[in-house]
Amino acid sequence: MISKQIQIITESLEETQALGRKIGMLLEAGTVVALSGDLGSGKTVFVQGLARGLDVPNEYYITSPTYTLLNEYPGRYTLFHVDLYRIENPVDLEDIGLYETIDSDGVVAVEWADKLQKDFLSEYIALHFEILGDESRKIVITGYGHERCDLIEKIQKIYEEKT
């Protein structure tokens, strides 16, 4: 599968949210965003920004759906925020409606996406978060598939304009 990768360092929660907002502004319906990284590495903070970039109204506070497993927010495209932290069995993915959600016209952000089977997704972007310091993070963004590689190039252009 074709892939393209970039690496971005954020120095604060606000920068991580701003990155999410900028990426959210670029996303189209049907995009899956696979998030991985340790607890507290910034996945939910990123999704908070992503939601704003998708025009989710400010009255919706974005929290990790650790116990509900899936939250849905209205926006330019519906944002489905999925958390697989507590998923132990692949059958549970069907129970929460993940297959239907991924096939929807919304944008799907999946925390703990590394729990998915390797061939579960075809075209998607993956973000891996690594803690560098109290608030600084290394975020490796990889696009899989032609359209998502194009998206990575757009993200890189936006990020280079900032620096």
Beta carbons of 55 and 27 less than 8 angstroms apart: no
Cα 110 to Cα 163: distance, rounded to the nearest angstrom: 28
Which residues does 41 contact at the CB level (< 8 Å), separation at least 6?
129, 130, 131, 137
- The pLDDT value given to residue 84: 87
- The pLDDT value given to residue 90: 63
Most confident of the following: 36-50, 55-69, 88-102, 106-120: 36-50
The H or E element that residue 52 is part of is helix 43-53
Beta bridge partners of 142: 5, 126
Percentage of residues in the chain with pLDDT exceeding 90? 56
Structural domains present in the chain: 3-162 (3.40.50.300)
Neighbours of 36 (CB within 10 A): 20
pLDDT in tens, 50-59: 999 999 999 9
* pLDDT at residue 87 tops 90: no
Look over the chain and give the mean of its residue pLDDT values, rounded to a whole number: 88
Neighbours of 10 (CB within 10 A): 22
pLDDT in tens, 114-141: 888 777 778 899 999 999 999 999 999 9
Verdict on whether the full-model pTM lies above 0.75: yes
Residue entry with tokens 């209205």: 74
46 — pLDDT class (breaks 50, 70, 90) = very high
- The pLDDT value given to residue 31: 93
11 — pLDDT class (breaks 50, 70, 90) = very high
Q: In terms of Cα–Cα distance, which of 66, 82, 74 is closest to 106?
A: 74
Which residues does 114 contact at the CB level (< 8 Å), separation at least 6?
36
